């Protein structure tokens, strides 16, 4: 069975920014502060290294409700038995990904335009990541930023719950929620800070307080 998921505060682990703490420690601290999902994203690693990393993050989060997501690498996701895989528009198609992961793993897809949002099949994909909202040095090859207006249009075109990403900091929480995204995905706002638990807590509190009820 797929696990229920909560996109409120979605941490994407980046090995270059997680330097003060290991990726597993950063995940543990962030989840203690309120992060609800943690993605392992390591572009330079081998599949074997990603599997080891995912296992260390799973172990760090054992006993918490947070879900572990693998970026891009289906083989690593299946082998490490993570909760979800996240793919982009340039990766294999969601249908092929779904065939390979089976029915029980969640599937996230990045979308960056209204057209891509309308093309999402809610029978195959479980959630979408929308961005980059703002330009960010964390992903130098990112697509053209969509801004908050673009975010609102893409959310409206998409049949699934969404998490916004790209240059997001605490001060953007209310605007992102007002645009209709369910949550925020961040790298540097947690990984790149001296105290990931505190950074996550400050974000999470603002997300919970800012959510329209
Ligand atoms: N995809 C779109 S922007 C981005 C990814 C992985 C990086 C976001 O990093 P940050 O530090 O939260 O701006
Ligand atoms: Mg990708």
Into how many domains does the chain fold?
A: 1
Confidence grade of residue 95 (pLDDT, cut at 50, 70, 90): very high
Ligand index nearest the alpha carbon of residue 72:
2
With respect to residue 33, please indicate whether it lies within any of the assigned structural domains: yes
Q: Out of 11-25, 42-56, 107-121, pick the least confident.
A: 11-25
Is 137's pLDDT higher than 70? yes
Residue list for the binding site: 39-43, 71-72, 91, 110, 136-139, 167, 187-188
Tell whether ligand 1 has an atom less than 6 A from the beta carbon of residue 164: no
Confidence grade of residue 213 (pLDDT, cut at 50, 70, 90): low
Output 203-211 pairs: Cβ under 8 A, ≥24 positions apart.
Answer: 203/9, 203/33, 203/34, 203/170, 203/173, 204/8, 204/9, 204/33, 204/34, 204/35, 205/34, 206/170, 206/173, 206/174, 207/8, 207/9, 207/173, 207/177, 207/183, 208/8, 210/173, 210/174, 210/177, 211/177
Q: What is the pLDDT of residue 104?
A: 97
Instruction: Give pLDDT tens digits for 4-17.
Output: 999 999 999 999 99
Is 212's pLDDT higher than 90? no
- Here the tokens at position 19 are 């330097």
With respect to residue 2, please indicate whether it lies within any of the assigned structural domains: no
Cα–Cα distance for residue pair 128/111, rounded to 1 Å: 7
With respect to residue 4, please indicate whether it lies within any of the assigned structural domains: no
In angstroms, what is the span from residue 88 Cα to ligand 2's centroid?
4
CATH code where residue 146 lies: 3.20.20.70
With respect to residue 121, please indicate whether it lies within any of the assigned structural domains: yes
- The best mutation among 142, 151, 172, 203 to test binding of ligand 1, ranked by most ligand atoms within 8 Å of the C-beta, falls on 142
In angstroms, what is the span from residue 212 Cα to ligand 2's centroid?
31
Cα–Cα distance for residue pair 213/194, rounded to 1 Å: 33
Cα–Cα distance for residue pair 165/57, rounded to 1 Å: 21
Q: How many CB atoms lie within 10 A of CB 171?
A: 8
Q: What is the pLDDT of residue 129?
A: 98
Tell whether ligand 1 has an atom less than 6 A from the beta carbon of residue 203: no
Give the structural domain span for 171.
Answer: 9-210
With respect to residue 3, please indicate whether it lies within any of the assigned structural domains: no
Share of the chain above pLDDT 90, in %: 92
With respect to residue 1, please indicate whether it lies within any of the assigned structural domains: no
Which backbone phi and psi does 187 adopt, to 5 degrees?
Answer: -110, -75
Residue located nearest, by CA, to atom 13 of ligand 1: 167
Is 43's pLDDT higher than 70? yes
Tell whether ligand 1 has an atom less than 6 A from the beta carbon of residue 129: no
With respect to residue 156, please indicate whether it lies within any of the assigned structural domains: yes
Instruction: Give pLDDT tens digits for 144-202.
Output: 999 999 999 999 999 999 999 999 999 999 999 999 999 999 999 999 899 999 999 99
pTM of the predicted model over 0.90: yes
- The best mutation among 16, 71, 139 to test binding of ligand 1, ranked by most ligand atoms within 8 Å of the C-beta, falls on 139
Which 3-state string (H, E, C) describes 90-150? CCCCHHHHHHHHCCCCEEEEEECCHHHHHCCCCCCCCEEEECCCCCCCCCCCCCCCCHHHH
With respect to residue 168, please indicate whether it lies within any of the assigned structural domains: yes
Is 87's pLDDT higher than 80? yes
Please, what is the average pLDDT of the chain? 96
């Amino acid at each position: 069975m797929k696990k229920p998921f909560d996109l409120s505060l979605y941490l994407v682990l980046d090995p270059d920014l997680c330097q003060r703490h290991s990726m597993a420690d950063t995940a543990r601290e962030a989840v203690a502060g309120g992060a609800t999902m943690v993605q392992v994203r390591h572009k330079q690693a081998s599949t074997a290294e990603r599997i080891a990393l995912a296992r260390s993050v799973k172990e760090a989060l054992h006993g918490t409700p947070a879900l572990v997501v693998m970026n891009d690498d289906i083989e690593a996701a299946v082998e490490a038995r993570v909760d979800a895989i996240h793919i982009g528009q340039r990766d294999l198609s969601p249908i092929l990904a779904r065939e390979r992961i089976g029915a029980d793993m969640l599937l996230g897809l990045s979308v960056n335009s209204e057209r891509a949002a309308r093309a999402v099949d809610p029978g195959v994909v479980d959630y979408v990541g929308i961005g980059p909202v703002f330009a960010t040095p964390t992903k130098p090859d990112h697509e053209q930023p969509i801004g908050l207006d673009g975010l609102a249009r893409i959310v409206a075109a998409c049949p699934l719950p969404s998490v916004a990403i790209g240059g997001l900091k605490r001060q953007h929480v209310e605007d992102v929620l007002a645009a209709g995204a369910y949550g925020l995905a961040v790298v540097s706002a947690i990984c790149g800070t001296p105290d990931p638990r505190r950074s996550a807590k400050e974000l999470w509190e603002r997300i919970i307080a800012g959510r329209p009820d």
